[in-house]
């Protein structure tokens, strides 16, 4: 096999990837051994090992202790809806999508006060160390973990009010817009930035991923008259979900 200028391990990985994609190596099939790759492609052990590492980093194969490396099941990506249309109930995008699709999604949450970190303070426009309410969510779709969200709200805004705890009280579980309106804070703008990065170990453990998998992160901040009243990081597995935006035409 002639490899040209491209590194040999990438050419080997590309050929194996094509076999996985076209079904020649279907899910749960054992990947050719390092010795087999070396023999079939005429490469060294080092090249064969690096090619396998590439496929593993891409999430196409997974190692099984004492058994070898196998082709992973390729999930069909599902949608995570982000909408510019606000329902009358003020529901969050996740709750709105569950209602629209008739899916029985569930979530669990926990809230606690903490001092704002440098990043949180910068996003909320408050002082380092100011008190914030941090709420962590784990969303499930048909019982399967699908999304992690961590939000921060400045207690200077919500402290000592009925909406201080996002998931408790008379408006517990309502969206940010509705909760803030209850304390005469009118949310008039929301900014979302979408990026991708390798998942943290604890995130992947929770979401059922493997080390090296990529996650999408939606960094969301709600504003009222230019003041940030809530900021959050929404984390979803990039191989299982797509973020879909529905925006109003003005």
Report whether 81 contacts 96 (CB < 8 A). Answer: yes
pTM of this structure:
0.73
Report whether 54 contacts 14 (CB < 8 A). Answer: no
Question: Quick one: pLDDT at residue 104?
Answer: 59
Helix (H/G/I), strand (E/B), else coil: 99: helix
Shortest CA distance to 235 belongs to which of 210, 209, 217?
217
Shortest CA distance to 51 belongs to which of 23, 96, 12?
12
Half-sphere exposure of 127 (CA within 13 A, CB side): 4
Per-residue pLDDT 10s for the chain (250 aa) are 444 567 999 999 999 999 998 999 999 999 999 899 999 999 999 999 999 999 988 878 888 878 889 998 877 777 777 765 454 455 555 555 454 555 557 889 999 999 999 999 999 999 999 999 999 999 998 888 989 999 999 999 999 999 999 999 888 888 899 999 999 999 999 999 999 998 998 998 899 877 778 899 999 999 999 999 999 999 999 888 888 887 777 6
Question: Quick one: pLDDT at residue 191?
Answer: 94
């Amino acid at each position: 096999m002639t490899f040209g200028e491209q590194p040999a391990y990438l050419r080997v990985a590309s050929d194996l990837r094509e076999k996985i994609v076209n079904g020649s190596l279907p899910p749960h099939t054992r990947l050719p051994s390092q010795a087999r790759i070396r023999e079939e492609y005429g490469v060294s052990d080092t090249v064969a090992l690096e090619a396998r590492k590439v496929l593993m980093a891409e999430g196409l194969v997974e190692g099984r202790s004492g058994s070898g490396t196998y082709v992973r099941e390729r999930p069909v990506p599902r949608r995570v809806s982000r909408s510019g249309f606000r329902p009358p109930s003020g529901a969050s995008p996740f709750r709105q999508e569950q209602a629209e699709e008739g899916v029985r999604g569930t979530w669990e949450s926990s809230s606690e006060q903490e001092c704002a970190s440098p990043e949180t303070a910068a996003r909320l426009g408050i002082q380092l160390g100011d008190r914030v309410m941090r709420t962590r969510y784990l969303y499930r779709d048909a019982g399967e973990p699908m999304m992690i969200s961590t939000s921060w709200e400045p207690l200077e805004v919500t402290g000592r009010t009925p909406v201080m705890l996002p998931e408790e009280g008379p408006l517990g579980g309502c969206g940010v817009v509705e909760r803030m309106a209850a304390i005469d804070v009118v949310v008039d703008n929301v900014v979302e930035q979408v990026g991708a990065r390798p998942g943290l170990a604890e995130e992947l453990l929770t979401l059922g991923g493997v080390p090296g998998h990529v996650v999408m992160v939606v960094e969301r901040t709600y504003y009222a008259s230019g003041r940030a009243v809530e900021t959050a990081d929404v984390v979803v597995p990039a191989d299982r979900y797509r973020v879909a935006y529905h925006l109003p035409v003005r």
